[in-house]
Amino acid sequence: MTTRRRFLANLGMMAGSGPVLCALQALGIGGYAHAQEWRGLPVGLGQGKHVAVLGAGISGLVAAHELEQAGFTVTVLEARGRVGGRAWALRDGTKVDMVGEAQQTVAFDAGNYINAGPARIPSIHHDFLAYARKFGVPMEVEVNSSRSAYLVGADGDRVRMRTAINDTRGRISELLAKAVNQGALDQTLSSADKERLMPFLIKYGDLNKDGRFLGSERSGFIAPPGAVNDMMQKPAPLELSRLLGNEQLGMSLFEDFPYMQATMFEPVGGMDRVHMAIAKALKVPPVLGAEVVRLRQSPDSVRLAYKYGSGGEMRNLTADYVISTIPFSVLRQIDTDFPRSTKAQIASVPYDASNKVAFEAPRFWEQDDIYGGLSFVGPPTALIWYPSTGLHSKRGVILGCYNSGKVAQAFQALTLEDQIAASRAAIEKAHPGNGKALEKAVVVNWSKIPFSLGPWPDWNEKKPELPHDGHIDDPVFRALQVPIGRVYLAGAQLSQTPGWQEGGIHSAWAQIEKLARRAGMSRATEPMQPVVGSAAHRATE
């Protein structure tokens, strides 16, 4: 007798976890799965099947690992000479090549580095953190916000983050208290609400008993408390007009967004440590320096041609399926036999721009009590990002620019020298007298980085009213989730968080689950084929 349990077990062995979840939902005994509930593919499901994974960023590496665990033979082709994709830590000796620019060589002191791409992991990104734990990569706290950092207006007005936040809160609380006391909100508030609101405003805004804002110790102090009669002296409150006149005031709210809130993490030694660890654990190491130039499909296979190594030797590879995590900005340049409509969709995906400019310097910012976090300085460089590592050491690496969007498009058109000068000027504006201490500059314009040609897609380019993350419902976005014959497209670019590595993991899971379901159905109808020869080159022609 076939029980419901046996039916679901057989379904899982044949087609992967996706049908089980669908069946559970259809039978009314299961809810919708969350990304964190990934439990892997059935062991042995992929025996006799070969998958080529294109790209060794987080999405490609996760796909390769999970497919290997399910018994697939996997070959990872990576065009770069390293794994990690956009997760790229620049260390002493790193070469930075950009299209149309002279090669830069990083010359930081030993142990210093900068994450040129992703640099922080929100604590809510459980799945990235789970892979870091699984592969033994230690994490440390990334200080994403420092209330000692600055908001710097276009006119040079410098306001500490804590002062801006608490004085604005005090001034607005004072205004609201006046409105309540004058009866301006009587039609909106009940008498009970008014009685409860006033005590709250006094605490929230640090008002006096009369509802006036006379300054707050939360905003800092002129002199710290000391011995005997050395009492703390709080500063006079800033006028609301000055606060509102600082164009960066709105950035005091940045840490309220879930993706920017504490606690944030970073891998010890650089973001790419996680990718290196996953790659090291693969049964077959990724093939580095393998630039795919042609892709052709037949009813039962996919044939790839790629240039290998510095000499550009042409090699061929045949696989049963392909998982491509290649950015669409690069994929559109590869010779494929995709349908014309699919090629047009891939070509239509708009990519954002993003730039970073880093310097090494003595840690002058720590003299301002800034340990990690961001100062917001506005266009063209957007912000200053202080290191969270090596605190109290002699030297550190500081970002003088991290911008994106239209400002970044204009910025990357400048010469490298002008980008460096603008970034130096931004730091000088926030930290007068220290611009001259900045050394060993390095520039990364992601739109010029080979095999990336942009940081992430801007799916909502035509809908600026929508946030960048979590609200993507573009017809092309949905269409490219569907396999193109035996080719499955994945990557953060096809997730609801295209700028975050967590999105790359979730996209990989979604696509390998589809592939596994298909391969499982095939196993149910086709005789098993033994794996012959080297896993990396079983299907190499």
Segment 346-372, tens digit of pLDDT: 999 999 999 999 999 999 999 999 999
Pairing relation of β-strands 335-336 and 290-298?
parallel
Percentage, residues of the chain above pLDDT 90: 82
Mean local confidence (pLDDT), 137-161? 97
Amino acid 466: pLDDT: 76
Judging by beta carbons within 10 Å of its beta carbon (0-12, 13-18, 19+), is residue 221 exposed, middle or buried? middle
Q: Is residue 436 predicted with pLDDT exceeding 80?
A: yes
**358 or 525: which carries more pLDDT confidence?**
358
Amino acid 12: pLDDT: 40
Contacts with 413 (C-beta within 8 Å, 6 or more apart), sequence order: none
Amino acid 464: pLDDT: 78
Amino acid 465: pLDDT: 77
Q: Which of the residue ranges 61-70, 80-89, 413-422, 523-532 would you say has the lowest mean pLDDT? A: 523-532
Amino acid 536: pLDDT: 37
> For all residues of the chain together, what is the average pLDDT?
90
Band of pLDDT at residue 524, cut at 50, 70 and 90: low
- Among residues 488, 501, 541, 479, which one has the least CA distance to residue 331? 488
Q: Is residue 144 predicted with pLDDT exceeding 90?
A: yes
Band of pLDDT at residue 35, cut at 50, 70 and 90: very low
Q: In angstroms, how far is CA 110 from the centroid of its own chain?
A: 26
Mean local confidence (pLDDT), 82-103? 98
Q: Is residue 25 predicted with pLDDT exceeding 50?
A: no
Q: Are 219 and 163 in contact (CB under 8 A)?
A: yes
Mean local confidence (pLDDT), 188-215? 94
Mean local confidence (pLDDT), 2-6? 36
Mean local confidence (pLDDT), 437-462? 96
Amino acid 235: pLDDT: 87
- DSSP labels, 367-421: GGT--S-EEEEETTTEEEE--SSSTTSSEEEEEEEEEESHHHHHHTTS-HHHHHH
Amino acid 448: pLDDT: 98
Q: Which domains does the chain have, with CATH numbers?
A: 1-33 (no CATH), 45-83+274-349+460-525 (3.50.50.60), 89-149+261-271+352-448 (3.90.660.10), 161-245 (1.20.1440.240)
Q: Is residue 283 predicted with pLDDT exceeding 50?
A: yes
Mean local confidence (pLDDT), 286-297? 98
Mean local confidence (pLDDT), 339-348? 98
Model pTM? 0.88
Amino acid 97: pLDDT: 98
Q: Is residue 290 predicted with pLDDT exceeding 90?
A: yes
Residue pLDDT, tens place only, 228-259: 888 778 889 999 999 999 999 999 999 998 88
Contacts with 290 (C-beta within 8 Å, 6 or more apart), sequence order: 77, 78, 79, 306, 307, 308, 315
Band of pLDDT at residue 31, cut at 50, 70 and 90: very low
Q: Is residue 3 predicted with pLDDT exceeding 90?
A: no
Q: Is residue 100 predicted with pLDDT exceeding 60?
A: yes
Q: Is residue 384 predicted with pLDDT exceeding 80?
A: yes
Helix boundaries (H) for 83-142: 126-134
Mean local confidence (pLDDT), 320-346? 98
- Among residues 326, 284, 301, 288, which one has the least CA distance to residue 65? 284
Amino acid 523: pLDDT: 62
Band of pLDDT at residue 525, cut at 50, 70 and 90: low
CA-CA distance, 212 to 446, in Å (whole number)? 49
Q: Is residue 24 predicted with pLDDT exceeding 70?
A: no
Q: Map tokens 């093939």 to a residue.
A: 287
What is the 3 state secondary structure string of 415-450? CHHHHHHHHHHHHHHHCCCCHHHCEEEEEEEHHHCC
